[in-house]
Chain A
Amino acid sequence: MDRILADRGVRIIVCCGSGGVGKTTTAAAIALRAAERHGRRTVVLTIDPARRLAQSLGLTELDNTPRQVKGIDAEESGGELHAMMLDMKRTFDEVVLAHTDPARATEIFANPFYQAMSSTFSGTQEYMAMEKLGQLHARGEWDLIVVDTPPSRSALDFLDAPARLSRFLDGRMLRLLLAPARAGGRSMFSLVTASLGMFSRVVQKVLGAQLLTDLGGFVAALDSMFGGFRQRAEQTYRILQARETAFLLVAAPEPDAVREAAYFAKRLGEERMPLAGLVLNRVHRTTVEGLSAEQSLAAADELDRAGGNEATADALRIHAALAEQAVREQRVAAVFTDAHPSVPTVEVAAQPADVHDVDGLRTVGDALSRP
């Protein structure tokens, strides 16, 4: 990890993986280390941090702009740490404002479709995370941007959703729906055109005419922005493919998370996006290698029968459970390492308590950098 952070050529680190594997904590720990140990002017973009972690980073209000994190130990290195939490709706509003005049923007903001989409569209969070990354990158104020990705059900959503959203906003389908008679064009089969006409009628019957009116308003208002969205999404996508970007996969040693990480690694390869390594979080290890789980359990039972050494019997059972878990986790992790032997892997030991302060992040940072 230190090698990546010391490389000034790396200006963006994207932490991805499925939900609940410690992505946010990992991103924050990396950003802190970059600032404290490597003197980098760092900003971390978090999506949905745990409340206490957010507080410890000074993220008490959601104002969608980076704030400097105070109380870190970067005097010697000269680094800085800034942190922000993504406000999806506000980021979307900013994009709209950047692409159209205020009158149009007001119209768009009032449209129920915009309201539904800017807060609930399944890809909006991913798209806005990328948009924010693009913005931070364009400002050029930081020499390292660390990005946490949304807690999608699948890590791949981060890569796919922006394309899906921009395709949608590009409006071809919207236009087809609203003007079925014209939109079919000559190249289209009549069945499709006929179906669309009918579809539009069905939609009108099922959802009501009001919906189509709102939709029409939405399309008309967004008209000036078509293309802009796609262009931005494509720009950000290119940044992700550039050499200055490093992807870090984050996983916990559980079957689902590891499988997800393996898919993602394969996909990054296909997209020619640079995968820097795998962080295996919350790994359990035992330091008492010589004592097997079976041996410990047998001894614990024996002690119980003899009586008088309850604490030792329990300590042995704790050890046995840990040893069994370690073996299980190794087996699970091998699914990834067998499929991607060339990807460097770093393990972070499970912390007895949850991480929610700067000291805790430092400990995680140390663990990430252990050779």
Chain B
Amino acid sequence: MRANEQVPGQVNPAWPARLHVVTGKGGTGKTTVAAALALALAAGGHRTLLAEVEGRQGIAELFGLGPLPYEERKVAGTADGGEVRALAVDPELALLEYLDMFYRLGAAGRALRKFGAIDFATTIAPGLRDVLLTGKVKEATTRTAERRRVYHAVVLDAPPTGRIGRFLNVTAETARLAKVGPIKTQSENVAAFLRSPMTSVHVVTLLEEMPVQETVDAIADLDGLGIPVGKVIVNGTRPPLLADAKVNQAELRRGLAAAGLPTDRATVAGLYDEAKAHLTRRELEESLRVELAELDRPIVELPTLTSGVDRAGLDTLAADLLGTH
């Protein structure tokens, strides 16, 4: 960042970073949340980048597109002229791109790739791979054109909670292997960027035991590494039905009769069992909410998308993330 840089549009005060790293246990919907956040931050006519680094092609899947190449391309627009571009960062291509910056490789680079040498280099030193991936994301986040930011914000669909600390703690891994040279410098730059207020790591969870446990562990891990943690995003929440937590069969029978529905034993008992299971589930959810609240981080709750994850669903989540419902 240079002091003379012009900032086109202030950051959203609720989401003050430029790089939003979205992690969470597998199955919590972190890709969906990352996409919704990229859309949310594009509102107001901004351009955002949604990046993934694990070769899963989850973004393409979400937007119903074919596999994304290693290239930034538009995947969605907003009504007010904003746009979301997507990028699937490939470690091999990122390494070649990086080497090309320092050394002119040309055809030799392609031969190396064909021979698997790049795959080999990124395999033997996983930290090298991570520094290339995070380095690319940093480059996109800080990129300027005509003294303006190319991206208002970058959202990274990051590795899951179990690996996020290691993924973002790039210096520790590479410092062990590379004691001098450009990779060391590069990893130090990336590490400083990831620890600056430019970066914010958000953890997506469900109100289930394992995801909450991993959320707590990941935040402790990131805190220990000095990497800024942003929000806890509780995905898949449901409306608080039966808030006074009481229901009995006689009452149900009366209610069913009043609504003109069947009042036979099976229907009443069935509904009663479903309501009781719901209450058991809710009690557990409440205790997990308390556990999350004790983390003392801003919490955003997102609803279950009952009609599946489509564009309308993403817009709903985006509005919830911005609190503009």
| A residues at B contact (CB < 8 Å) | 18-21, 48, 50-52, 112-113, 115-117, 120-122, 151, 153-154, 164, 168, 173, 177, 191-192, 194-196, 198-199, 202-203, 205-208, 210-211, 214-215, 252, 254, 256-257, 286-288, 290-291, 295, 299-300, 302-303, 306, 308-309, 311-319, 321-322, 324-325, 328, 352-354, 356
> How many angstroms from the CA of A295 to the CA of B116 in the assembled complex?
60
> Majority SS of interface residues in chain A?
helix
Q: Give the Cβ gap from A318 to chain B, nearest Cβ, in Å.
A: 5
Q: Which of A154, A318, A328, A353 has the most CB of B within 10 A?
A: A318
The answer, among A122, A168, A322, for a CB contact under 8 Å with B274, is A322
> How many angstroms from the CA of A18 to the CA of B247 in the assembled complex?
38
* CB-based nearest A residue for B306: A324
The answer, among B28, B116, B274, for a CB contact under 8 Å with A20, is B28
Interface range on chain B (Cβ under 8 Å from partner): 35 or more
What 7 A-B pairs come out closest when comparing CB atoms?
A: A312-B255, A20-B27, A19-B26, A288-B270, A309-B255, A299-B259, A352-B280
Q: Does B14 contact A (CB under 8 A)?
A: no
The answer, among B99, B209, B260, for a CB contact under 8 Å with A354, is B209
Q: Give the Cβ gap from A81 to chain B, nearest Cβ, in Å.
A: 22
Report yes or no: A208 in contact with B25, Cβ–Cβ below 8 A.
no
Q: What are some 26 contacts across the A-B interface (CB < 8 A)?
A: A19-B26, A19-B27, A20-B28, A116-B127, A121-B123, A121-B126, A122-B126, A151-B26, A153-B26, A194-B108, A195-B111, A199-B117, A206-B178, A207-B178, A208-B183, A254-B27, A288-B266, A309-B259, A311-B242, A311-B247, A313-B255, A316-B255, A317-B239, A318-B275, A328-B306, A354-B208
The answer, among B121, B123, B179, B262, for a CB contact under 8 Å with A291, is B262
Q: Give the Cβ gap from A232 to chain B, nearest Cβ, in Å.
A: 19
Q: Does B308 contact A (CB under 8 A)?
A: yes
A-B contact count (CB 8 A): 211
Report yes or no: B242 in contact with A314, Cβ–Cβ below 8 A.
yes
Q: Does B320 contact A (CB under 8 A)?
A: no
> How many angstroms from the CA of A314 to the CA of B279 in the assembled complex?
11
Report yes or no: B242 in contact with A207, Cβ–Cβ below 8 A.
no
Q: Give the Cβ gap from B240 to chain A, nearest Cβ, in Å.
A: 9
Report yes or no: B242 in contact with A306, Cβ–Cβ below 8 A.
no
* CB-based nearest A residue for B166: A120
Q: Give the Cβ gap from B170 to chain A, nearest Cβ, in Å.
A: 12
> How many angstroms from the CA of A311 to the CA of B273 in the assembled complex?
13
Q: Chain B residues with Cβ under 8 A from A321's Cβ?
A: 238, 306
Q: Chain B residues with Cβ under 8 A from A306's Cβ?
A: 258
Report yes or no: A50 in contact with B210, Cβ–Cβ below 8 A.
yes
In chain B, positions 111-164 with a C-beta closer than 8 Å to chain A are: 111-112, 115-117, 120-121, 123-128, 160, 162
> How many angstroms from the CA of A290 to the CA of B257 in the assembled complex?
15
* CB-based nearest B residue for A302: B259
Report yes or no: A317 in contact with B241, Cβ–Cβ below 8 A.
yes
Q: Give the Cβ gap from A84 to chain B, nearest Cβ, in Å.
A: 20
Report yes or no: A211 in contact with B259, Cβ–Cβ below 8 A.
no
The answer, among A116, A195, A314, A356, for a CB contact under 8 Å with B125, is A116
* CB-based nearest B residue for A122: B126
* CB-based nearest A residue for B109: A195
Q: Chain B residues with Cβ under 8 A from A288's Cβ?
A: 266-267, 270-271, 274
Q: Chain A residues with Cβ under 8 A from B322's Cβ?
A: none
Q: Does B254 contact A (CB under 8 A)?
A: yes
0 or 1 for each of B237-279: is its CB under 8 Å from A? (1 = yes): 0110111101100011011101111100011001111110110
Report yes or no: A112 in contact with B177, Cβ–Cβ below 8 A.
yes
Q: Which of B173, B238, B258 has the most CB of A within 10 A?
A: B258
> How many angstroms from the CA of A309 to the CA of B168 in the assembled complex?
53
Q: Chain A residues with Cβ under 8 A from B261's Cβ?
A: 291, 295, 299
Report yes or no: A291 in contact with B112, Cβ–Cβ below 8 A.
no
Report yes or no: B278 in contact with A318, Cβ–Cβ below 8 A.
yes
Report yes or no: B213 in contact with A195, Cβ–Cβ below 8 A.
no
* CB-based nearest A residue for B280: A352
